[in-house]
Amino acid sequence: MAPMTQFRITYDGPALATHEMDARELAPALMAMADLLDSSVHALHGDRAKAQINVKGSFKTGSFNVDFTTALNFLKAAKDIFAGDGMTAIANATAVLTALGLVARAGYKGVAQVLIWLRGRRITNVALQEDGKVTIFTDEEAVEVEYHVLVLLRDLTVRQALDRVLAPLDRDGIDTFAAGDDAAFAVVIREDERHYFSAPAGEDELILEDVRKMVLSIVSLAFKDENKWRLSDGSFTINAKISDAGFLAGVNSNEVSFSKGDVLICEVKVMQWQTTSGARTEYEVVHVVEHRRAATQISFPGMGRPGGSGSDWR
């Protein structure tokens, strides 16, 4: 079994003068601490390692302290885990806690220290150094950190769990959070610094974008909400933004009218995003190539389509 590392978190404030804390606030914070360790280990090692975290013994007197023991258990031999993966090779629980900024190491900035340094400012640039360290820039300032600190800093689940660990500070009468070991506090977060640790909203990532030709029938028209029409290809219905200005002008001036059974031959831009809740797909009709009216006459070879050449939506 992997060696255990001990660390302590402390909540303080007038509401804790009796050294008691509402279990309905403490329990979610303790769960969040377990989630923070789990998500950090997953960010650094994927499914190759797992965190073990236990509450150790009785709560301390003083403010309101909770002692934990934690270990990092690898599911493969270390030589297999770290082969070709040196930048995220954190081999024990102490190193994970140090990268989070919850255990002190001289001259070392973990996630908590970087967020205090940022003071809610946006990161404007990140530069990877030859020695494997990373320089983080914001405005005219910069700070150098280990690469795995950046890995944890940009992991949304890590940031969300850390946010929940600090949730008791949102209550009146609890104004301080601290973390460290028996030797020293690694970080002290005051009530007025709480907002620096708010988890950012997950940013959607564009995975695929292409333009394809589609044949669509009109389910319903809309002239609000960015001109999103409901269209069907016969198998499924989509909400598509209509951005063909010429086509919209014809519709708005009543030059273009629709009947049941009409179809539009369109160039459609399809964009697929990865979001925190899964995949999201957006459709945009960038060009209506042809408006084909419902067939009301029989077409014979050589005659083309009834009512015209069929080459113009007008």
Q: Which CATH number goes with the domain that contains 221? A: 2.40.50.140
Asked if pLDDT for residue 159 goes beyond 60, the answer is yes
Q: Which of 197, 221, 245 is the last residue of a domain?
A: 197
Residues 147 and 12 in one domain: yes
Determine, yes or no, domain membership for 312: no
33, 72, 70: which is closest to 50 by C-alpha?
Answer: 72
Q: Which of 177, 197, 217 is the last residue of a domain?
A: 197
Sheet with 5-12: list strands edge to edge.
Answer: 49-55, 64-74, 5-12, 176-180, 185-190
Residues 179 and 228 in one domain: no
pLDDT in tens, 29-53: 889 999 999 999 989 888 888 888 8
Residues 112 and 187 in one domain: yes
User: How far is residue 265's CA from residue 209's CA, in Å, rounded to a whole number?
Assistant: 19
Determine, yes or no, domain membership for 114: yes
- So what's the pLDDT on residue 22? 80
- So what's the pLDDT on residue 84? 41
Residue 305 pLDDT level (bands cut at 50, 70, 90): low
Determine, yes or no, domain membership for 119: yes
Residues 22 and 105 in one domain: yes
**Mean local confidence (pLDDT), 290-313:** 63
Asked if pLDDT for residue 307 goes beyond 60, the answer is no
Q: Are 50 and 41 in contact (CB under 8 A)?
A: yes
User: How far is residue 145's CA from residue 147's CA, in Å, rounded to a whole number?
Assistant: 6
Strand partners, 138: 141
User: How far is residue 265's CA from residue 13's CA, in Å, rounded to a whole number?
Assistant: 67
Asked if pLDDT for residue 204 goes beyond 90, the answer is no
Residues 167 and 286 in one domain: no
Residues 41 and 141 in one domain: yes
Residues 193 and 210 in one domain: no
Asked if pLDDT for residue 297 goes beyond 60, the answer is no
- So what's the pLDDT on residue 261? 85
Q: Which two tokens stand for residue 8?
A: 């302590």
Residues 56 and 114 in one domain: yes
Bridge-based pairing state of the strands 278-292 and 237-242? parallel
User: How far is residue 123's CA from residue 137's CA, in Å, rounded to a whole number?
Assistant: 6
| Mean pLDDT of the chain, nearest integer | 83
Question: Hey, is 167 helix, strand or coil?
Answer: helix
Determine, yes or no, domain membership for 100: yes
Higher pLDDT, 259 or 1: 259
Cα(first)–Cα(last) distance of the chain, in Å? 76
Asked if pLDDT for residue 311 goes beyond 50, the answer is no
- So what's the pLDDT on residue 303? 59
pLDDT in tens, 214-227: 999 989 887 665 67
CA distances to 10, 58, 67 from 22, rounded to whole Å, are 14, 16, 17
Residues 40 and 123 in one domain: yes
Number of domains making up the chain: 2
Q: What letter would DSSP give residue 44?
A: H
Bridge-based pairing state of the strands 141-146 and 176-180? unpaired
User: How far is residue 266's CA from residue 261's CA, in Å, rounded to a whole number?
Assistant: 16
Residues 73 and 40 in one domain: yes
Residues 165 and 287 in one domain: no
Share of the chain above pLDDT 70, in %: 83
**Residue 191 burial by Cβ neighbours in a 10 Å radius (0-12, 13-18, 19+):** middle
- So what's the pLDDT on residue 80? 42
Show the domain range for 252: 205-292
Determine, yes or no, domain membership for 166: yes
**Mean local confidence (pLDDT), 126-139:** 89
pLDDT in tens, 268-285: 999 998 887 788 899 999
Residue 308 pLDDT level (bands cut at 50, 70, 90): very low
Q: Are 24 and 184 in contact (CB under 8 A)?
A: no
Question: Hey, is 253 helix, strand or coil?
Answer: coil
pLDDT in tens, 49-101: 888 888 875 555 546 778 788 887 765 443 343 344 444 456 678 889 999 99
Residues 79 and 190 in one domain: yes
Determine, yes or no, domain membership for 46: yes
User: How far is residue 64's CA from residue 54's CA, in Å, rounded to a whole number?
Assistant: 17
Cα–Cα–Cα angle for 229, 234, 240, rounded to 5 degrees? 20
Determine, yes or no, domain membership for 284: yes
The set of residues, in sequence order, having a beta carbon less than 8 Å from that of 289 and lying 6+ positions away, is 213, 265, 266, 267, 313
**Mean local confidence (pLDDT), 118-138:** 90
Alpha helices in 46-124 (DSSP H): 78-81, 93-100, 111-118
Determine, yes or no, domain membership for 302: no
Asked if pLDDT for residue 313 goes beyond 60, the answer is no
